[in-house]
Structure 1
């Protein structure tokens, strides 16, 4: 029988920033909050159990943000996992201001970003944040000022690597021209939401990790009788597992972080690492995703 660690190892590894190796199939902790990504989870003990099980299964990349809760998600991770395994990379973000459930407001003023980085260090109980991402570029603040803050925190040793979220290729190139060493990009991307195709390819060229949020397209893909669910059934897997397998096959820099508040679903997601898609099957799923895209309800969350 294949062990859990052997299964997740089949996802392969990627080295964030060239010096932080992680297994390519990670875990996104956003769902371990209350409704609207606000407040604590309904069952904190269950949430901590999910985090611990993720590590037991061999997950080495956990993604969170100061805005999840807000603040409570980072605290939960520390409660469940500190002291952390040596190979565990925790990525967090700043750049949103929360005023209530499902409310997300750009706020990336340099002093606020610095304040939030310091707070994340305390909540996560670390001296250095492994990967600190700008959750969104604030259109009301000069872009260069936001880049400069990330760069300064990295130079001060408070942040090991920096990333950007929800950007395009042009923004990535401007950040690099500014001198920002971008280690990862986190954009909404999956088999049907494909507006970041050019960014995926550019990240692969540069060796930058691409962290797709909303990696498992819901809705039509899970309905019985459509071509995608039929393909999953033929392979003996779930539509969610097939979505993750497609992502892992799509690019060697892809780092999916499926989130769940269920240990059972977590284990099912991890099993996707063992699914092998040959060239023909990958091409067929790729084409199906494009055909089904108009029927997908795309979320606007973070």
Structure 2
């Protein structure tokens, strides 16, 4: 049972599944050696205790080892927890969106996460060698078979998002986006208009050591630069669900606390114009 309600309010994935608006990215959790793995398990468990209800992983992260780590740490899963994973990359790192490969990865993910349904399955990257309609069509078939609840995309353009939505309902988009990297602003606008969750990856890193407005606002609020960056994201759009990742218990607590930081209109405008 979580120690507190999800901080920062909630968002409905696919219009039906509530998650806290500040998630957790599990990519940086080490799976070895043993001591580091123990710490990683403790971080994952603490995230849930602190009210995090969306954890993001992928087959690519350790080629399944990250998924297995989360299962070891959190299974049986609390009913409020949604674990999102991603498929579509084959060792040693080549894109592969062939339907048969996606089906194999989904089945492997189900086994590793010890579940009979993936609550949010995202296409890690669009394979340019395979028609997009075939890639998302395969995921739609898996959803219809009951193996996936909701389908998402990652690193897509607004055009690709629109094309995918002609094939199947899209519940989330996971693109790189932060204070210093706003290339996907058109995608964020499209997600905001459609009520699609936008999960920015690498939401904090560029701002952690930033000077200028970020440092000034951090000093004004008594927050860290990372917390300012996350608070800015949360206020950027109601569909924004940042997924900061860390392997540190102290950084985890810091990130979660960012959900309670409220920026003034003047502070937000300063960051918007940054």
TM-score, length of structure 2 as denominator length: 0.95
Name the structure 1 match of 2:21.
24
Which SS does the other structure have where 1:133 is aligned? strand
Name the structure 2 match of 1:258.
244
CA–CA separation in structure 2 for the residues paired with 1:47 and 1:285:
33
Instruction: Determine if contact 2:213/2:271 at 8 Å carries over to the other structure.
Output: no
Instruction: Determine if contact 1:33/1:42 at 8 Å carries over to the other structure.
Output: no
Q: 1:240 to 1:82 in 2, by over 3 A?
A: same
CA–CA separation in structure 1 for the residues paired with 2:209 and 2:34:
25
Q: 1:95 to 1:272 in 2, by over 3 A?
A: same
Which SS does the other structure have where 1:141 is aligned? coil
Residue 231 of structure 1 deviates from its aligned partner by 1.9
CA–CA separation in structure 2 for the residues paired with 1:200 and 1:58:
25
Name the structure 1 match of 2:161.
172
Which SS does the other structure have where 1:212 is aligned? coil
Instruction: Determine if contact 2:120/2:152 at 8 Å carries over to the other structure.
Output: yes
One of 151, 155, 158 as aligned partner of 1:162:
151
One of 124, 127, 131 as aligned partner of 2:120:
131
Which SS does the other structure have where 1:193 is aligned? coil
Gaps of 5+ in 1: 289-302
Aligned structure 1 segments of 4 or more residues deviating by more than 4 angstroms: 39-42
One of 77, 85, 88 as aligned partner of 1:84:
77
CA–CA separation in structure 2 for the residues paired with 1:127 and 1:76:
17
Instruction: Determine if contact 2:30/2:36 at 8 Å carries over to the other structure.
Output: no
What per-residue deviation string (whole Å, max 9, x for no partner) do you get for residues 62-112 of structure 1? 00001101110000000000001010001000011232xxxx321111111
Gaps of 5+ in 2: none
Which SS does the other structure have where 1:202 is aligned? helix
Residue 235 of structure 1 deviates from its aligned partner by 1.2
**Residue 14, structure 1, aligned to residue 1, structure 2:** no
Residue 40 of structure 1 deviates from its aligned partner by 6.5
Residue 217 of structure 1 deviates from its aligned partner by 3.2
**Residue 269, structure 1, aligned to residue 269, structure 2:** no
Name the structure 1 match of 2:58.
65
Name the structure 1 match of 2:107.
118
Name the structure 2 match of 1:204.
192
Instruction: Determine if contact 1:133/1:165 at 8 Å carries over to the other structure.
Output: yes
CA–CA separation in structure 2 for the residues paired with 1:129 and 1:40:
28
Which SS does the other structure have where 1:247 is aligned? helix
What per-residue deviation string (whole Å, max 9, x for no partner) do you get for residues 265-293 of structure 1? 000000101100122211111112xxxxx
Count of residue pairs the alignment pairs up: 273
Instruction: Determine if contact 2:213/2:270 at 8 Å carries over to the other structure.
Output: no
What per-residue deviation string (whole Å, max 9, x for no partner) do you get for residues 251-275 of structure 1? 0000000000001100000010110
TM-score, length of structure 1 as denominator length: 0.87
Residue 229 of structure 1 deviates from its aligned partner by 1.4
Q: 1:41 to 1:168 in 2, by over 3 A?
A: farther
CA–CA separation in structure 2 for the residues paired with 1:84 and 1:177:
33
Name the structure 2 match of 1:222.
209
Q: 1:40 to 1:115 in 2, by over 3 A?
A: farther
Q: 1:4 to 1:233 in 2, by over 3 A?
A: farther
Instruction: Determine if contact 2:57/2:86 at 8 Å carries over to the other structure.
Output: yes
